[in-house]
Structure formats: structure tokens, C-alpha cells
Amino acid sequence: MIIHPIQDTLQGAAPDSIQASTSVPAQGADGLERVMLADDKLFVVLAVVLIIWAGIVFFIWRTDRRLRNLERTVGSGIPDETI
Amino acid sequence: MSDWILGSKSGEFAIKRYTIIRNVILVWMTLVLLGAFLLDIPRIVILEHTARNLYFHVPMWFTMMAAGIVSAYHSVRVLASGDPVRDVRASEAARLAIFFGILGLLTGMMWARFTWYLGTGLWWNFDPKQSMAAVQVLIYGGYFVLRSTIDDPRKRSRIAAVYNLFAFATLPFLLYVLPRQMESLHPGAEGNPAFSEITHPIMRVVFYPAVIGFIGLFWILYTQRVRERLLRKKLEYQPEM
């Protein structure tokens, strides 16, 4: 396994052949790109986290629906006490 | 069983109340996530952007503490009433205490490895707080080992409740008191305040809501698991269903 040393390549040479053969447009970023690339691309991470969070919220909601349907079938209710 | 409502009016009210609180928590957590990334924080050497881990790693321990409190409360009620629903609640809260404790340990390892332990290759450094937290997670693990050894439900609920009170009694000492007596990476060591004056005020704006949000998330998962356990209990009583 080749472990490459960590280098800042923001100003220097391209770190690999793919990046060397791809021309990264430095200018002309549209509105979305301007937002996402700001602050060392931190907002890309935020977008990823929000996608995961949306999935978790969906799952919690689905589980609640399943529980509710089961409780109706069995003829029981949600516990009266909240905690 | 005290909180076992069969299609009553208060049962309908309970489900409405649950849904409202759940939705508020989910929206709240979304705002916390937005604030955690969008609000600008001062860049400090070594920490840099990982200072944002304050919003995620530290609430794990607050949540574990909250889960321990809920679990211990229901264990007291088990001993007072012998109600099997209390036993369900105590054990599910303890399970989530372990869950959030493990998440806290893993996030702490990840954070420290790439900040303070950079260049050492160390994932585990026997930081007092780290070790004590691991011990506390194991103590809660013992609760479930103990439960698995007793077949009689009544006896199990009472013995487990007594053990659980012991587990809760060690929690504040292992998480808060002892680590502060020793040299540690964690703030609050050697009698320092846990939140130092250099912590930027904007971080408190996200941190405290994050603590509330994660405890809310615990509550949602806890309620779901309690409902599932009560459904199973109910089906055991009526095997023809």
C-alpha cells in the first residue's frame, strides 16, 4: 500500500493523474458552487450530514407508523406517561 | 400496569402529545445541525474545525447521564410497585445509556486521534475521563448480563433494579468527579471550569440546544423501544393473536 504524504495542493501541482488531466475551472462558478465551495468546502459536509439526518427522520417516522398500526391491531395504546 | 391504556381517551391524547413533541425535537435537531456548520467559529491551533465536535461529542455524555437518570427513576419505581412496565422502561433507558456511551467513546477517540494525538498513532491514551467512561459503559453492560441470568420476571426486575441503582450511583463519580482530580485532556481537569473563558460565546448558542436535541432524540428512541416491548408483552399475554 502506498501512503501518500499529506500535502496542501491548493496552489501547487496536481496530486494525481486524474486531477492533472482535468482542468478545474477556477472562474465562473455558479451560485450553488460559490456557496458549497466556501469555507474549505465545509458546506459539502453539511449537505451530506443533512441527507443522513433526513434518512434517519424518515426512518423514525416510519417506525412510529408501524408501531401505531400494530397498537391499533392489538388493541392497545401508547403508554400514558411520557417519560 | 399503571400506564397501559386500552383505546381510551387519554390514550389518544398520549399519541397526539407524543407526535407533537417528536416533531418539535426533529425540527430542533435540524436547526442544531444547521447552526453547528453554518455559524462561524474562531479557528484555534490544533483544534481548527474539529472544535465543532463540541456540539456532537459532549452531548453524548449528557444524553447518557439523562438516560441513566430515567433508568434509575424507573428502577426506584420497580422496587416501590413491582410494576413490570417500570422494568421495561428501566431496561430500555439503560440500553440507550450504553448506546450513547459507546457513541461518546467512539467520537472521542476519533476526535483525539486527529488533534491531540496527531503523529502518535494513538487511538486510546487512557485519558482518565476516557477510561472512567469506558468503565461506566461496562457497569451498564453488567446490568444486562445480570438480567440474562435470572428467569423469573419478578425476581429479575427487582434484582436488576437494585443493581441499576448502584450503576447510577457510580455515574456522576466516574464521569465528572474522578476525571477532574487527575491530569486530563478534557476541560475541567484539575479543578478548572468545564467551559473555559476561551470558549467563544457563539459555541454556547449551538452547544446547549444540541444537548437538549440529543436528549430529545434519546427520548424518541426510548419511547419507540418501550412501545415495542409493551406490544410484545401484550402479545405474550394473548398468544392466540
Nearest to A70 by CA among A62, A59, A80: A62
What was the pLDDT predicted at B1? 41
What was the pLDDT predicted at B51? 86
Would A54 be classed as within a structural domain?
yes
Kindly report, residue by residue over B88-129, the tens digit of the pLDDT: 999 999 999 999 999 999 999 998 888 888 888 888 988 888
* Chain CA centroid to CA B47, Å: 25
Average pLDDT (B174-193) is 72
With CA atoms as reference, the chain B residue closest to A76 would be B6
* Chain CA centroid to CA A12, Å: 29
Residue type at B184? S
Range of the domain at A51: 39-73
Report helix, strand or coil for B217: helix
**Cβ distance of A74 and B235 shorter than 8 Å:** yes
Residue B104 CA: distances (Å) to CA of B6, B52, B175: 38, 15, 12
Q: Which one of B19, B30, B230 has the shortest CB-CB distance to A76?
A: B230
What was the pLDDT predicted at B187? 77
**Cβ distance of B231 and A82 shorter than 8 Å:** no
Q: Which of A16-25, A47-56, B13-22, B133-142 has the lowest mean pLDDT?
A: A16-25
> Considering only CB atoms, which chain A residues are within 8 Å of B229?
none
Would A68 be classed as within a structural domain?
yes
d(CA B240, CA B4): 20
Report percent pLDDT > 70 for chain B: 89
Residue B95 CA: distances (Å) to CA of A33, A67, B5, B221: 43, 19, 25, 11
Contacts of A68 (CB under 8 A, 6+ apart): A78, B15
More confident residue, B12 or A57: A57
Nearest to B111 by CA among B62, B154, B67, B53: B53
The domain total for chain A is 1
Confidence (pTM):
0.81
What was the pLDDT predicted at B107? 93
Would A61 be classed as within a structural domain?
yes
- Does pLDDT of B8 surpass 60? no
| Contact criterion met (CB below 8 Å) for B179 and B106 | no
Q: What is the ipTM of this complex?
A: 0.72
- Domain extents for chain B? 10-230
The single residue listed with the C-alpha cell 436535541 is: B213
Kindly report, residue by residue over A13-56, the tens digit of the pLDDT: 565 666 666 665 555 567 778 777 777 788 888 888 999 999 99
Would A24 be classed as within a structural domain?
no
- Does pLDDT of B2 surpass 60? no
**Cβ distance of B30 and A50 shorter than 8 Å:** yes
Torsion sign over Cα A44, A46, A49, A50 = negative
